Structure 1
Amino acid sequence: MRLVGITALAIFVLDQATKWWILHILSLDTRGVIEVAPPWLTFRMAWNTGINFGLFSGQADLTRWVLIAVAMGIVLFVLVWLRRDPPGVPGLIAGGVLIGGALGNVIDRLVYGAVADFLNMSCCGIDNPYSFNVADIAIFVGAAGLVLFPGDDNSPPARRKKRA
């Protein structure tokens, strides 16, 4: 579980550091857009009060607290799951990545009232209107990692029967 904590902390710090840099050094919240390597990478400020793609962004204050509670519930669920049925090292890292990303977005909702999204990527004639952040990437990668690296079933026979 120590690996989960270290990984979660690293992702959380990376996420918050990039948001601090974007907001307090580059002042993207007032500038709106900074073209870094168009169209592949643009910093485009978006305050997301909902979930992915701005879904459920109405009733901002109620949605904010519901999404904080849901994120914390997911973090708790993943922690319990990893503790009860620990996967291998890749699975533990994936769990930490997911938890770090989820906590990064929770802090945004607590501090700013919305999630600070700023990465925008387009390619091949497709203009992507949506922005995301490091925490969003971490949540996706962590969830995919938990699916792809569930661990092996080399547990003792008595434990295997409990799982089935």
Structure 2
Amino acid sequence: MNRNLFIILLVAFNIAIDQISKVIVRSTMIRGGKGQINVIQDYFQLIWVENKGAFLGMGSDMNPTLRLVFLLVLPAIVLAYVTYYIVKTKELDRMSLIAFCCIVGGGIANVFDRIVFGQVTDFFYIDLGGVFKTGIFNVADMSVTAGMIVLLFSGILSGKKKEKTA
């Protein structure tokens, strides 16, 4: 498959899955945890909240101008640069390319929410009995996080390959 087509399809897939999940949540759930759904007892729940901030609501109480700059303008610039980077850098291994596409797709999906709705729809919540507990997040957040983890492992693996060849 053509490399640029692969990039476009993977980014679009990440955006589509996120936006479809958010449409389903907005049309079937009650906002604010009143209609929470226990998927796996209290360990994995669906709780619809709207987040005006970033990760875990950070920045939601910021001045609206600062929020615009830090949560919309700067992320849009970074996403544009990363997109440019992955299209132009032909030497990227497939794992890194996939990771960057997940990061860009998830980032674009959340920026889209901020532009269209002024906030981001979040709905997943995990609590493994106090051992591991998350904030409320969405599919785009999972894409970005998975992309970062894959990118980290890709960097470690390529570093080990370079050590072996040296």
SS in structure 1 of the partner of residue 122 of structure 2: strand
Q: Distance in 2 between matches of 1:123 and 1:152?
A: 34
Partner of 1:77: 81
1:38 paired residue number: 41
Report if aligned partners of 1:64, 1:109 keep a CA contact under 8 Å in 2.
Answer: no
Q: Spell out the pairing of 1:123-142 with structure 2 (5 A cutoff).
A: 123-126=128-131, 128=133, 130-142=135-147
Alignment match of 1:111 (pick from 107, 111, 116): 116
Q: Is the contact between residue 99 and residue 146 of structure 2 (CA under 8 Å) also seen in structure 1?
A: yes
SS in 1 for 2:79: helix
Amino acid in structure 1 at the alignment position of 2:120? V
Partner of 1:149: 154
Among residues 68, 79, 104, which one is paired with 2:72 in the alignment? Answer: 68
- Tell me what 1:27 maps to: 29
Which structure 2 residue ranges, 5 or more long, are not aligned?
Answer: 160-166
- The 2-side partners of 1:63 and 1:114 are apart by 14
Q: Secondary structure at the match of 1:131?
A: coil
TM-score by length of 1: 0.81
Give the TM-score normalised by the residue count of structure 2. Answer: 0.80
Distance 1:17 1:99 in 2: 17
**What is the CA–CA distance in structure 2 between the aligned matches of 1:43 and 1:131, rounded to whole Å?**
9
Give, in angstroms, the shift of residue 145 of structure 1. Answer: 2.2
Number of paired residues?
152
Structure 1 residue 80: Cα displacement: 2.3
- Structure 1 segments, 4+ long, off by >4 Å, are 150-153
More divergent stretch after superposition (96-105 vs 51-60) = 51-60
RMSD value, Cα: 2.3
1:60–1:118 distance in 2 versus 1, CA, 3 Å: farther
Contact 2:36 / 2:47 at 8 angstroms: preserved in 1? yes
SS at 2:83 equivalent: helix
Contact 1:88 1:152 in 2 (8 A): no
Q: Are the structure 2 counterparts of residues 38 and 23 from structure 1 closer, same or farther at C-alpha, using a change threshold of 3 Å?
A: same
Report Cα offsets for 1:10-59 as digits up to 9, x if no partner.
010000000000111x1332644222222221111221111111111113
